[in-house]
């Protein structure tokens, strides 16, 4: 999937001051002379950019979005006796109207010289994920942290998930695999379990699942994304070549593509987790109906034991699976009431400290692949479980 440099060339970040945020100030400008590093020196010109504005929070499934022009210029151009003061002017829109003092703000430059302005509430998971994506560690007390995006940051399936939440399509297909996929499944979308099985059969990158389940799972997810997008590209192109009967037909088709992408990732994660549990010889039930018709994704050792009220509750373990969780992690609390400590596996990086503290207060233990531990703070790392540690805990509890 290449490097982050293919999608962004430079970034600037800060927590907004009262002057920056539209509700408190109608200047409609942000900026710093340091922006010259990523936007160039406007000199005596007013340089126009096309921009995308996003308000990216933890409650919404998709960011609030607006588009509009921005102007990069020297506010002191007619004051020859003073040093230049460069600013970026924008027009008011739905996103800038949401900005508040203290919000985290990133200005990102795309390779086509368009700009993306992303705003997130301070301390939110959304802020942490954007900071992780762009390698923004410490922010200065005043002004912007500005840097170019290097080639070193590679885009994995995890970065791809964040980028696509920002509306950026990541090239992730390999036509060299198309013949093998079509030979196996034809030119239609196969059942998700069968496709995930094919993924595990053909994944050359995976570490042995018995010795390194965390790496194996991520390798399977990476490989599945590539294979699926390769097949999807073939199927979608065939429909584009055929055309659409009317606008409603086009909209229905477009929505089906988006919805299939979202639901398939969740199904794929469940299938690969089940394969890990089977490889480790763990007995389990899938999609187990518990109290109040709530469904547990995985229940150890199984539904029979859970339904037997004489079976000790302390020897039962559950696991919810969510590729991304945002505020939806609270849904897990209603599942498997006999089990006091819940477990949730997710691929979501950089969940905020506030969120993980709230999870802890509700006896919900987060499980993430070990490769994502670096996206969390030191206090969180001491609490997190990776998949290998979770497997050991399950074996101990149910034995």
What residue spans define the domains of the chain? 4-155, 175-279, 285-398
Report pLDDT digits (tens) over 351-397: 999 999 999 999 999 999 999 999 999 999 999 999 999 999 999 99
Q: Is the pLDDT of residue 25 over 60?
A: no
**Distance between CA atoms of residues 95 and 125, nearest Å:** 18
Regarding the domain delimited by 4-155, which CATH topology (the fold level of the hierarchy) does it fall under? At1g16640 B3 domain (2.40.330)
Q: Mean pLDDT in the chain?
A: 93
Report pLDDT digits (tens) over 32-65: 899 999 999 998 899 999 999 999 998 887 899 9
Give the other-Cβ count within 10 Å of 56's Cβ.
25
Pick the CATH number of 175-279 from 3.40.91.80, 3.90.120.10, 2.10.260.10, 1.10.8.80: 3.40.91.80
**Distance between CA atoms of residues 361 and 346, nearest Å:** 18
Regarding the domain delimited by 285-398, which CATH topology (the fold level of the hierarchy) does it fall under? Restriction Endonuclease (3.40.91)
Q: Do domains 4-155 and 175-279 have the same CATH topology?
A: no
Q: Is the pLDDT of residue 308 over 70?
A: yes
Q: What one-character-per-residue DSSP string does 189-237 give?
A: PPPHHHHHHHHHHH-SSPPPTTT-HHHHHHHHHHHHHHHHHHHHHHHHH
- pTM value? 0.90
Report pLDDT digits (tens) over 100-147: 999 999 999 999 999 999 999 999 999 999 999 999 988 888 889 999
Cα pseudo-dihedral 225, 227, 233, 238, rounded to 10: -140
Report pLDDT digits (tens) over 209-257: 999 999 999 999 999 999 999 999 999 999 999 999 999 999 998 998 8
Residues paired with residue 3 on neighbouring β-strands, in sequence order: 154
**Distance between CA atoms of residues 34 and 366, nearest Å:** 40
The whole-angstrom distance between residue 110's C-alpha and the CA centroid of its chain comes to 19
3-class secondary-structure state, position 345: strand
**Distance between CA atoms of residues 385 and 387, nearest Å:** 7
Contact 271, 343 (CB under 8 A): no
State the pLDDT at residue 27.
64
List C-alpha distances in Å: 237 to 112, 122, 229, 234, 262.
25, 41, 12, 5, 20
Q: Is the pLDDT of residue 399 over 80?
A: yes
């Amino acid at each position: 999937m290449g490097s982050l440099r293919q999608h962004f060339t430079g970034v600037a970040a800060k927590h907004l001051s009262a002057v920056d945020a539209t509700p408190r100030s109608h200047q409609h400008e942000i900026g710093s002379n340091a922006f010259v590093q990523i936007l160039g020196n406007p000199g005596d010109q007013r340089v126009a950019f096309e921009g995308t504005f996003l308000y990216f929070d933890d409650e919404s499934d998709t960011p609030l979005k607006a588009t509009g022009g921005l102007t990069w210029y020297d506010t002191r151009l007619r004051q020859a006796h003073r040093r230049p003061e460069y600013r970026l002017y924008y027009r008011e829109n739905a996103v800038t109207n949401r900005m508040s003092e203290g919000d985290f703000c990133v200005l990102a430059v795309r390779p086509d010289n368009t700009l993306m302005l992303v705003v997130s509430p301070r301390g939110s998971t959304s802020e942490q994920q954007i900071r992780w994506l762009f390698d923004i560690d410490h922010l200065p007390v005043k002004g912007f942290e500005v840097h170019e995006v290097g080639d070193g940051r590679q885009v994995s399936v995890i970065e791809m998930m964040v980028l696509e939440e920002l509306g950026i399509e990541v090239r992730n297909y390999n036509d060299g695999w198309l013949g093998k996929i079509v030979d196996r499944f034809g030119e239609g979308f196969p059942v998700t379990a069968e496709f995930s099985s094919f993924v595990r059969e053909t994944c050359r990158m995976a570490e042995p699942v018995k010795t390194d389940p965390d790496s194996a799972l991520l390798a399977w997810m990476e490989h599945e994304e590539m294979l699926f997008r390769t097949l999807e590209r073939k199927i979608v192109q065939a429909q584009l070549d055929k055309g659409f009967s009317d606008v409603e037909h086009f909209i229905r088709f477009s929505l089906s593509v988006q919805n299939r992408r979202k639901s398939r990732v969740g199904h794929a994660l469940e299938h690969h987790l089940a394969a890990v549990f089977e490889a480790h010889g763990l007995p389990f039930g899938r999609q187990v109906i518990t109290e109040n018709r709530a469904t547990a994704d995985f229940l150890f050792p199984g539904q029979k034991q859970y339904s037997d009220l004489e079976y000790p509750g302390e020897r039962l373990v559950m696991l919810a699976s969510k590729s991304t969780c945002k505020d939806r992690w609270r849904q897990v609390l209603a599942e498997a009431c006999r089990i006091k400590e819940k477990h949730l596996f997710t691929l979501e990086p950089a969940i905020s400290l506030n969120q993980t503290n709230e999870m802890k207060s509700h006896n919900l233990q987060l499980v993430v692949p070990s490769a994502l531990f670096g996206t969390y703070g030191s206090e969180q790392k001491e609490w997190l479980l990776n998949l290998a540690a979770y497997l050991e805990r399950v074996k101990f509890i149910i034995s």
